[in-house]
Structure formats: structure tokens, C-alpha cells
Homo-oligomer: A and B are copies of this chain.
């Protein structure tokens, strides 16, 4: 209700501001019996953390996660997983000039208009720093999926920075190569050009927009609720929740505007069972193509779900800009110094993946593909003889 919670059965609740004492996330609804440790969370946080390269903010945050609850002997117990992450390098002081004189295109004005006050250090609650919580939750979802009977694979990479677009890259290449460079573009030659462009903007005290291509394979057929909770509706919410997202597309996306029905409609064909891109057995109907992006009627077909999302240029730039103090009504100049990313997509890649993991797992729990109480066949040793798939003894 208040914007601090995501998901229905796999519920993620977060707290924390950019420059407060600490961040935290409660993951409620994680099935029992999943092997989980801090290293698995940390690996994902490290992909998002500041200071990882020259094109990310130099703020010195180790982003060390501590798991406070929800585990027994290395396995989840089904009870909420509380995770905390301290803020260690917060310097609020330099944000004092903006307390009542909002920075251009930030959330300063709107948060104050809503609440009459705000955490004014950094972006406060509106800061992209807060997505550290999302990535921690996504790491839990990823672990659940990896240990389930399903073979769900999610990966994203940066496919455009400024005018520089990546060519089409295979899903396998995205999985293998998107982390090879700091830009997180799976095509090495494009990555180099993107990197040069970002450097150029950074040197000029400017910033630049960009976009991410994402894909999920192995998602079972028949997932997604009709109507308001369709897969695109829920993923749309998930992706637009990421700070600075300006567009989301699935399948043909925006290009669908000028495509005819005859061209887009895909015949049904018979699976030979060797396809590894689609969830189907030999003899099952499968679509002849995937312009539909894995979604028909808002529900999954078993084909890959894919799409793109865009991010506008970071609004924190060291240019002198004009603002107005709302206490005095006076116009004044502001300069946003500090440590900021020159382009968002490289660090948004793990955030996009986290939101996909969380949303897909939520749909799998809601669709009964993973038992919400506990994984079948998990190795926890304190079992009773109840087995979800065998109601015999109930």
C-alpha cells in the first residue's frame, strides 16, 4: 500500500535511506528447505555496489549483508529472512543547500510536497542506493529457483547507451559475456564504444541515458494471472519501480505499432522435444516464432520472455543549475557535487535481474509450481512425514 513492499506470496519489504544508519529488507514467503548463506547474497550485491569501476560513483560502501533470521543450519525455514546492510560512507552535510531548494529533476521537491519533509541526505528514500535491498531479495529468489525442479534462467545486459546500440546477441552470449566489462554489454566491441561515450560525458560533467535488454528462459507454461495481474502487468510494475525508468517493452514492444496481424501471428507447430529454448515436450504445440515475447493473453507460453527498458540520464551532474527556495521564494544557483554515476544501465543490470527473479518466483508460487511452504525433496533433516505432493496421510 505504501510502496515499500513488493510481491504477493514472495513478499519483499524494505526500509532505508541513502544517508541513514542502515538499509534493510525482509523477505517473507520464501519456502523452507533452500540452501542459503550470506555469500550468495553478497555476490549479487557486489555486482551492484558503488565503486566497482571508474564509471560508477566512488562512494565507499562495502554493502555487506548480514542475515538476521529465517535460517537453520544453512537452510531457509519458511519464516521471514531479515537482512541488514549498514551505510558506512554517508556524508549528508553537502546536501544541506538543497533542503528547501530542490535539485533539478530529483525527487527533492516531490517528496517534500508529499510528506512536508524528507530525508534530505543524498536522495533519501528516493535514492537508487535503496535498490541494494532489492538485489538482496532477488538473490534469495534466484537461490529458490536454482534449487527447484525448474530451470529458470534470467539475464540482462546493456543494449544501448546514448546513440550507441548493441547488435543482437544470443542469450548464451549474454549469460556468458555481459559481466566481462564494466558497461555490462555482452558485445565486447560495443561495450568499448559505450565505455568511451560514458567517459566522455563524465569528463564533460554530464551524464547520458541508455537501456537494458532482458530475457528469462525456462519459465513454465501457464504462469500469470488473468487481467490485472498478468505477467506483463506485474513485470511492468516491477521495472517501472526502478528509479529513472522511462519505458518498458515486451516482445516486439514499440515496434508492434507498425506490424500487421498476418506477419505477427505465429502458427502452432509440434515440438520435437530437442528445443532447449522452450518449455515443451515432444509433441506439444509450440509457436513457430516468438514475436509475442513468451506471453499470450498475459500468460506464459514456455517461450523466452524478453523485452527492453530505458533509463534517463542521471540527474546528479556537476553543472550549475537554477532552483528556487520554497521557504524564501528566491531563485538561486545549485551545483550538485558528490559522487555519482554518469549512466545508470551498467549498475541497473543486477537490479533488473533481481526484479525478474522476484516476480517470476512469485508467479511460480501463486501458480502452485513451487510449494509455498517448502521445496520438495529438500535436505532439511527435521521433517515430519507430510509431503506436499502426496496428500495420503492427510
Q: Which residues of B contact A146 (CB under 8 A)?
A: none
- Of B239, B250, B300, the residue contacting A246 (CB under 8 A) is B250
Asked if B114 and A78 make an inter-chain contact with CB atoms under 8 angstroms apart, the answer reads: yes
A322-B265 Cα distance, complex, nearest whole Å = 10
Q: Would you call A143 an interface residue if the criterion is a C-beta within 8 Å of the partner chain's C-beta atoms?
A: no
Interface presence of A380 (CB below 8 A): yes
A54-75 contact mask (Cβ, 8 Å, vs B): 1 or 0 = 0000000000001111111001
Interface-forming stretch among A13-21, A44-52, A175-183? A13-21
Interface residues of A in 203-229 (CB under 8 A from B): 206-211, 218, 220-229
**Ranked 4 nearest A-B pairs via Cβ:** A107-B297, A3-B225, A15-B82, A113-B222
Q: Which residues in B have their C-beta under 8 angstroms from that of A246?
A: 249-254, 256, 293
Contact A210 B257 (CB under 8 A): yes
- Starting from the known contacts A1-B1, A113-B222, 19 additional A-B residue pairs (CB-CB under 8 Å) come to A1-B9, A3-B226, A4-B226, A5-B5, A5-B228, A14-B80, A15-B79, A17-B69, A72-B120, A78-B114, A104-B287, A109-B296, A110-B221, A110-B222, A150-B394, A201-B261, A237-B237, A247-B249, A280-B393
A104 proximity list for chain B (CB < 8 A):
265-268, 287
* A241 to B: closest C-beta gap in Å: 4
The oligomer's copy count stands at 4
- Whether a CB of chain B sits under 8 angstroms from the CB of A119 is yes
A361 at the interface (CB under 8 A from B): no
Whether a CB of chain B sits under 8 angstroms from the CB of A155 is no
Q: A248–B11 Cα gap in the complex (Å)?
A: 25
CA distance A114 to B245 in the complex (A): 31
User: How far, in whole Å, are A381 and B100 apart by their CA atoms in the complex?
Assistant: 9
Interfacial chain B residues near A6, Cβ < 8 Å = 227-228
- Contact assessment for A285 and B323 in the assembled complex, using a CB-CB cutoff below 8 Å: yes
CA of A125 to CA of B386 in the docked complex: distance in angstroms? 20
A385 interface residue (CB < 8 Å to B): yes
Task: Assess the B369–A105 pair: CB atoms within 8 A.
Answer: no
A188 within 8 A of B: no
| Closest CB in chain B relative to A166 CB, distance in Å | 12
Please indicate the chain B residues that have their CB under 8 angstroms from the CB of A69 in the complex.
Answer: 15-17, 20-24, 119, 125
Q: Which of B115, B124, B223 contacts A374 (CB 8 A)?
A: B115
Determine whether the beta carbon of B8 is less than 8 Å from that of A1: yes
Whether B68 contacts A24 by the Cβ 8 Å rule is yes
Bound-state Cα–Cα, A26 to B28, Å: 12
Neighbouring B residues of A29 by C-beta, 8 Å: 1-2
* Bound-complex Cα distance A209 to B291 (A): 13
Assuming the contacts A28-B13, A82-B15, A284-B393, asked whether A367 and B261 have C-beta atoms less than 8 A apart, the reply is no
A116 to chain B, nearest CB (A): 4
Q: Is the CB of B268 within 8 A of A323?
A: yes
Q: Is A190 located at the chain interface by the 8 A CB criterion?
A: no
A window 64-118: CB within 8 A of B: 66-72, 75, 77-82, 84, 99-102, 104-118
